[in-house]
A and B are shown apart, each in its own frame.
Chain A
Amino acid sequence: TQLLEQSPQFLSIQEGENLTVYCNSSSVFSSLQWYRQEPGEGPVLLVTVVTGGEVKKLKRLTFQFGDARKDSSLHITAAQPGDTGLYLCAGRGDDKIIFGKGTRLHILP
């Protein structure tokens, strides 16, 4: 069974700090997506990474897909309270779409 493991589960940091969250698997994925979910809402797509080693930037967010396409990371520079939320990674494995359990991020003002 393919799994996407996200770490850390919870992260609480001060506004202005940098942080990195991870999405790991023992399996290869053809692509990975990152979503952010706020309370009472559905997940919102942030980015899709497809090529091993690919790096994508979205303002202060930097996403990287591992060379072997088994892992991905999300780095946030100078975190802001508006970055607070549940960050989910998702991928298609064994012909089935799976999500990680997410990293719950809280940015303190």
Chain B
Amino acid sequence: EAGVAQSPRYKIIEKRQSVAFWCNPISGHATLYWYQQILGQGPKLLIQFQNNGVVDDSQLPKDRFSAERLKGVDSTLKIQPAKLEDSAVYLCASSWGDRGYEQYFGPGTRLTVT
């Protein structure tokens, strides 16, 4: 069974530029999550999708971050414009159910904002 795929693996941009990350979840997983993991900390949930609907986006900085999950499969997370404090690893995860149990994570995208 293929795991969660993410791209790119690494990205370096200057502040005020835009960036987009892509995630392909495990086939059949209805729930998709985007997390931000700052160095030395645990992952912080940014947004949770159930199929193509948003379940929780309370911690998503909506003035600069946006995410979509068209057709309930792949998802993209965008930052526009980026700030220095956005430097982090962005993790995508998926699961069968919507309660957050047994999440399968992708390898993440390491973003550096200079």
Binding site for B on A (CB under 8 A): 4, 30-31, 33, 35, 40-45, 48, 88, 90, 92, 95-102
Contacts and interface: CB of A to CB of B under 8 A. Distances in A.
A101 B104 contact: no
Enumerate the 7 nearest inter-chain pairs by beta-carbon distance, A residue then B residue, closest first: A42-B105, A99-B42, A97-B100, A101-B42, A99-B43, A92-B100, A97-B45
Contact of A40 (B101, B102, B107): B107
B4 A42 contact: yes
Size bracket, chain B contacts: 20 to 34
Given A41-B107, A42-B105, A102 B45 contact: no
B61 interface: no
Contacts, number: 58
A40 B99 CA distance: 26
Classify the secondary structure of B's interface with A.
loop
Interface of B: 4, 33, 35, 40-45, 48, 56, 58-59, 91, 93, 99-108
Given A42-B93, A42-B106, A42-B107, A101 B101 contact: no
A43 B56 contact: no
13 contacts: A31-B99, A33-B103, A42-B91, A42-B106, A42-B108, A45-B103, A95-B56, A96-B58, A96-B59, A97-B56, A98-B45, A99-B44, A101-B40
